[in-house]
Amino acid sequence: METIFKGLKKILKGIIRFPVTALLGSLILGVLGFLLATNLRIDTDLSELIPEDYSSVQALKKLQEQVGAEHEVAVIIESPSFESNKRFAEALIPQVLKMNQSSGNPYFIRAEFRKEISFIKENALYFATDRELDELEDYLKQRIKKAKEEANPFYIDLDEEENSELDSLGNELNALYDDLVGSEYPTSPDSTALAVKLFPSGSQTDLTFIRNTYSELQTLIDGMHPANFHPEMKIVLAGRLIRTLIEVQTITRDVFNSFGTGIVMLLFFVVLYFQYKSYRTHAGDYFSFRLLIKQLKHIPAHVLILALPMAFSLTLTFGIAWLAYQKLTIMTATLGLLLFGMGIDFGIHFFARYTEERESYAVADALIKTFMTTGQAIAIVGLTTAAAFFILMLADFKGFSEFGFIAGVGLLLSIIAYIFVLPALLVLLEKMGWLNLSDHPRKSPNDIDHDKKNLHTNRKLILSYVIIAIALITTAVTII
Distance in angstroms (rounded) separating the CA atoms of residues 258 and 280:
33
Query: Once rounded to an integer, what is the mean pLDDT over residues 335-357?
Result: 87
Query: Once rounded to an integer, what is the mean pLDDT over residues 130-138?
Result: 82
Dihedral through CA 255, CA 261, CA 267, CA 273, nearest 10? -130
**372-390: pLDDT as tens digits:** 999 999 999 999 999 999 9
Distance in angstroms (rounded) separating the CA atoms of residues 306 and 308:
6
Query: Once rounded to an integer, what is the mean pLDDT over residues 316-340?
Result: 87
Distance in angstroms (rounded) separating the CA atoms of residues 49 and 402:
9
Helix axes 398-416, 299-325, angle to 10 degrees: 140
**32-77: pLDDT as tens digits:** 999 999 998 877 666 667 777 777 666 666 666 655 555 788 999 9
Supply the pLDDT for residue 449. 46
**2-39: pLDDT as tens digits:** 788 888 889 999 999 999 999 999 999 999 999 999 99
Each residue of 114-127: b (16+ CB within 10 Å) or e?
A: eeeeeeeeeeeeee
pTM above 0.85, yes or no: no
Distance in angstroms (rounded) separating the CA atoms of residues 166 and 143:
8
More confident residue, 121 or 166: 121
Q: Transcribe 64-90 into DSSP letters.
A: HHHH--SS-EEEEEE-S-HHHHHHHHH
Which ranges in 284-362 belong to alpha helices (H)?
A: 289-295, 299-325, 335-358
For residue 180, count other CB atoms closer than 10 A to its CB: 15
What strand order describes the sheet that includes 193-200?
108-112, 193-200, 73-78, 234-238
**69-97: pLDDT as tens digits:** 557 889 999 999 999 999 999 999 999 99
Supply the pLDDT for residue 382. 92
Band (pLDDT 50/70/90 cuts) for residue 465 is low
Distance in angstroms (rounded) separating the CA atoms of residues 392 and 415:
20
pLDDT at 453 > cutoff 60: no
pLDDT at 198 > cutoff 50: yes
More confident residue, 287 or 194: 194
What proportion of the chain, given as a percentage, has pLDDT over 90? Answer: 31
Band (pLDDT 50/70/90 cuts) for residue 447 is very low
Supply the pLDDT for residue 96. 92
